[in-house]
Amino acid sequence: MMQRAVYFLGLALSTVALADPPRNLNDVPSDLAVPAVVSGEPRAGGRVWQTNPGYENSRIAHALYLPTDWKPGQTYPVLFEYPGNGHYKNALGDTSQGTVEGCRMGYGLSGGKGMIWVSLPFVDPRTRSHALVWWGDADETARYCRQTAERVCKEFGGDPRRLVLAGFSRGAIACNYIGLRDDATAKLWRAFVPHSHYDGVRQWPYPDSDPASAHKRLARLGDRPQFISHEESTAAIETYLAKARPNGSFTFAPLPYPNHSSAWLLKDVPLRGKARAWLADVLRD
């Protein structure tokens, strides 16, 4: 395995090259099983539904997981995660239901220890529920995110200096589209982990998906790091960022499988080890 450093006019990049031959990721056994979301009080090792104040009469909620080593009075990094679009399946057997409870990146990155994990909704005020496809109301989604971050830090020991935003597919785009939407939301994050797709690389059927709008959001990143992975190749994202010329520090990590899936984080594959090592490094005080 080799790690290659590339530089574009003040843009620090590194590319992780892996030697695994392409094959169906679904043929690789999982060594982690994501806990189901249940009703009840938060506890170490449990994943529960929570409804924020103001949403009591809606179906909008997030899922809170406290690590197995969680103790009151201590502080922990927090992994926030957005899910992919729903109603997705492909010939490889990959599926995405688009649900909050379907998130799994945070559990794979942490292994269930040492970090709080929060699965976030896309808020649709019209239906008063989580949007299974795209954003619902993007500004309201960002507001819910900020409200949840404040609550997790205040009530459960989340460290406001070590908040990380992750997501798969739609959720990967959301790392910038929602996470860098405004100054108040953007300032929350220590780092980002988008897997499969990236805000601004291509236009989608929603407002402000064009590169110029994405560049304005990207400007709020500053020099904070992102671990950017994508099935088979990250070339399109590398090209986009080289043209956009932001100041962030980007690690590009191609997943050596064709699958459009975040399931690799539940499997003992080399890329998961790279992602975990990167995360430990950026969270180090």
- What is the per-residue pLDDT across 40-60, written as a single tens digit (0 to 9) for each? 999 999 999 999 999 999 999
In the chain, where the domains are located: 28-222+264-283
CATH of 28-222+264-283, one of 3.40.50, 3.40.190, 3.30.1300, 2.30.30: 3.40.50
Instruction: Work out the pLDDT band at 264, boundaries 50, 70, 90.
Output: very high
Q: How many residues does this entry show for the chain? A: 285
The mean predicted confidence, pLDDT, of the chain is 93
Q: Confidence band (pLDDT; 50, 70, 90) for 201?
A: very high
- pTM above the 0.85 mark? yes
